[in-house]
Structure 1
Amino acid sequence: MSPLYLFFLVASAMAEDRHAVVYKSPTSMTAECQRYLGYPTAHPSEPHVPCQVACVALISRVWDNPLSDTRSVTSSRYIESDLAPKQYYERLQHCLAHVKQTVPQWDTCRRGAEIFNCINQSISGIHYDRAFFIPKTDLQHRQVLTDCIDFLQIPPQELDAILRQDFPNHPRGRCLLRCFLVREKLYSEAIGLAPFRVVVQLGDNLGHARSREDMRRCVHRLQRQYLDRCTLAARIAAECFGDLVWHLRFLLSDSSQREVLTRNVTSYL
C-alpha cells in the first residue's frame, strides 16, 4: 500500500468520524464531564459536583450558553413527565425566564444547576442509560460546509453567487445543499429521510410526531416529481426542513468565517 493512498485513507476515516452521527446517554455524558473536570466517577442521580450539570447541559445541547437559552426539544427526550408536553413546556419556559432574571449570565455553573432544576420539575423519571442523538453545533455545521465546499471545489466568487441567488436557485448551490444533508446524515438517496434527527437538529419544541409526519409527506411529494439528485435534496431542505436553508445562508454569510470556508478551495486555484 502506497504512503499516499494510506494518507488519504486515514484522512477520509478521520473526516467521517468527525461528522458521524453521535448518540450519548446522561450516564455517559456525566462520566465525560467528570473526566473533563477531574471529579471522581459517580452516577448522574447522585449529588452533583460544581459545574458538572452545566457541562452535561452543554454536551447534550440542552443549553446554548452564548444565547443563554435551552433547547426544549432536546431536554424533553431525557425525561418522563406526567404533564402533557405543552403544559410541561410552558412550565419549563416560565421557570427558565425566572432563572434568566435572577442568576447572572456570567455565573455559568450556578445557572446550569438552576436550569437543570427547571428541567427536572414535574418529572417522573430520567432515562439515564438510554442514548440519544446529539445535534451538531454551528461550529460543526461550518466544518461540514467547509468540507462540502472543498469536495465540490466551489471558489469564493461562485460562493458569492450562490449566496446572492440563494441555494435552490443556483445549480452548484443545490449540490452544496445535498452534500450538507448527506454529510450530516439528515437525508440521502441511500438512507432516505432521518426525520427524528432533523426535528431535533432544528429544535422543534412541540408537535414532534406531527412535524416528522409533515416532513415525510413533503419528501414523498418531491420524490414523485423525479428530480435530479441535487435539485431534489435542495428542495427537500428548502421546502421540508423549515429554516435550515436560511440558517446555512447565515453561517456562510458570516464574514468572519468566509476566509476559513474558502481557504482550501483557493489554494487549488
Structure 2
Amino acid sequence: MRGFSSLVVLAVVALAGGVLGRHDAAFKSFGSTGGECSQYLNNDGNGDCNIHCIGVVAHVWNDTLAKFTQNYAGYFVPDPKDDCYVNRTERCLMQVDKSVEVYDKCTRARQLGQCYADQYGELVPTQLQYVPMTDLQYTRVFLQCAAMLGLSNADLDAMVQQGAYNVPAGECLLRCTLTRMGLYTDEKGFDVPLATRQCGLYNATSDIDQCQANVMASQCDKCKRTVTIAKDCLNMHYNVRKVGESYALELYGGVCYSSCSYFFYCYYYGCPYLSYYNYQGTGSSSYAVNSNYFEFAG
C-alpha cells in the first residue's frame, strides 16, 4: 500500500480520458481525475495539492472541514483478511486532524489520503466511481425535468403548497429527476450503491432488492412505481420547495442521516437546503457530522 504517489502518476498517464456517463450522471476513476488535476496544476501528479484537487474534482472533499467524505474510501479495496483496517485508518485520520490546521488544505488532503493508502486498502486507480452531484447540478436536473414534463409555475406552486405527494405530476417529476441523476431505472429500480454515494444512507428496508422486485411486479404505472419504491424500500421522501423565484426538489430520509446534511459545502448532495445547529465534526473515516437538531431551512 506504499508508493501512493507513484500510483497516482501511473494512473494519470494511463487514464487521463477515462470518464463515463449515464444520463446526467458522471463516473470517474481516481486515475482519470488525477489526470485532470495534473493538467490544472501543471505538474506530473506529485505536487503538494494534487490529492486535494482530486478530492475537489471528484466531489469527495469537504472543503469546510478540510476532510474527505466517506466516498473517498471507495477508491481503495481492503484486504479481506484484514480485520483492523478501519480502526487503523480512523486512528491515522484523527492524528492528522489534530496535527494539521484546517486552513492547510493541501497538506491535510495529502496526509489524510496517505492514511487510506497505508492503512485502509489498495488503491485501484482504474475503478470508476459515481461522482455525486453538487447542489447546482442537482437543481439544474430537477428544473430540466420540470421543463421536459411541461410543468408550469402553477404546477410547481401546487406541489409547494399541497406537498409533491398530493399532486399527480409530482410522481413523474421525481422519476425523471432520479433517472437523469443516474440513480434509478424503470428496469432495475434504484441503484442503491449510487444512491448511497449521492446522499449517505437512508433508513432503508433490510432487503431492498426484494422490496423493489415486489413493487415492480405489482405496480405497472412507472411514475407511481418510482414513488412507492422510494418510500417503501428506501424510506426516501421528497418535496418541492420555493427558492426565491425558482424551485428545488428535496430528497430526504424518514431520519435524515448526518452524512446527508450540509455544512456549507459538505459534498453530500442528496438532501439540499438542510440547516442544522449544535454542529460538531467527527474524526471517523466517514467524516460524518453530528447534529442535535435538523430542520429544513427557509
Match of 2:53 among 51, 55, 61: 55
- Listed as ranges, the gaps of 5+ residues in structure 2 are 1-20, 250-298
**CA-to-aligned-CA distance 1:158-184 (integer Å, 9 cap, x gap):** 323313443333211111101112212
Is 1:36 aligned with 2:40? yes
Distance 2:95 2:154 in 1: 47
Distance 1:260 1:226, change over 3 A: closer
Q: Which residue of 1 aligns with 2:102?
A: 105
Distance 2:89 2:235 in 1: 24
Distance 2:65 2:83 in 1: 23
Distance 1:104 1:215, change over 3 A: same
What is the CA distance between 1:225 and its match in structure 2?
2.5
Root-mean-square deviation (Å): 3.3
What is the CA distance between 1:117 and its match in structure 2?
2.3
Q: Which residue of 1 aligns with 2:158?
A: 161
**CA-to-aligned-CA distance 1:83-128 (integer Å, 9 cap, x gap):** 7798544544454444444433332212222321232232442112
One-letter identity of the residue aligned with 1:64: N
Distance 1:234 1:155, change over 3 A: same
One-letter identity of the residue aligned with 2:77: E
Q: Which residue of 2 aligns with 1:253?
A: 241
Is 1:130 aligned with 2:127? yes
Distance 2:190 2:146 in 1: 23
Higher helix share: 1
Match of 1:237 among 210, 225, 230: 230
State whether residues 149 and 261 of structure 1, in contact with CA within 8 Å, keep that contact through their aligned partners in structure 2: no
**CA-to-aligned-CA distance 1:245-265 (integer Å, 9 cap, x gap):** 45xx4xx53735x53769xxx
* Aligned residue-pair number: 228
One-letter identity of the residue aligned with 1:127: V
**CA-to-aligned-CA distance 1:31-52 (integer Å, 9 cap, x gap):** 1101111213x4xxxxx31211
What is the CA distance between 1:20 and its match in structure 2?
3.5
Distance 1:92 1:167 in 2: 42
Match of 1:182 among 167, 179, 182: 179
Residue 132 of structure 1 aligns to a residue whose secondary structure is strand
What is the CA distance between 1:216 and its match in structure 2?
1.4
Match of 1:198 among 188, 195, 199: 195
Distance 2:176 2:82 in 1: 34
What is the CA distance between 1:234 and its match in structure 2?
1.6
State whether residues 27 and 128 of structure 2, in contact with CA within 8 Å, keep that contact through their aligned partners in structure 1: yes
State whether residues 68 and 105 of structure 1, in contact with CA within 8 Å, keep that contact through their aligned partners in structure 2: yes
One-letter identity of the residue aligned with 1:52: N
State whether residues 88 and 119 of structure 2, in contact with CA within 8 Å, keep that contact through their aligned partners in structure 1: no
State whether residues 171 and 226 of structure 2, in contact with CA within 8 Å, keep that contact through their aligned partners in structure 1: yes
Distance 1:158 1:67 in 2: 39
Q: Which residue of 1 aligns with 2:269?
A: none
State whether residues 79 and 125 of structure 1, in contact with CA within 8 Å, keep that contact through their aligned partners in structure 2: yes
One-letter identity of the residue aligned with 1:224: A
- Listed as ranges, the gaps of 5+ residues in structure 1 are 1-16, 43-47, 206-210, 263-269
State whether residues 82 and 122 of structure 1, in contact with CA within 8 Å, keep that contact through their aligned partners in structure 2: no
**CA-to-aligned-CA distance 1:177-216 (integer Å, 9 cap, x gap):** 01112212222224544333223223349xxxxx797321
Distance 1:83 1:69, change over 3 A: farther
Distance 1:219 1:122, change over 3 A: same
Distance 1:85 1:103 in 2: 28
Identity of matched residues, %: 26
Distance 1:37 1:194 in 2: 34
Residue 122 of structure 2 aligns to a residue whose secondary structure is strand
TM-score by length of 2: 0.64
Distance 1:237 1:89 in 2: 31
Residue 212 of structure 2 aligns to a residue whose secondary structure is helix
Residue 219 of structure 1 aligns to a residue whose secondary structure is helix
Distance 1:188 1:159 in 2: 24
Distance 1:35 1:225 in 2: 51
State whether residues 52 and 110 of structure 2, in contact with CA within 8 Å, keep that contact through their aligned partners in structure 1: yes
What is the CA distance between 1:71 and its match in structure 2?
2.7
State whether residues 66 and 109 of structure 2, in contact with CA within 8 Å, keep that contact through their aligned partners in structure 1: no
State whether residues 66 and 103 of structure 2, in contact with CA within 8 Å, keep that contact through their aligned partners in structure 1: no
Is 1:223 aligned with 2:216? yes
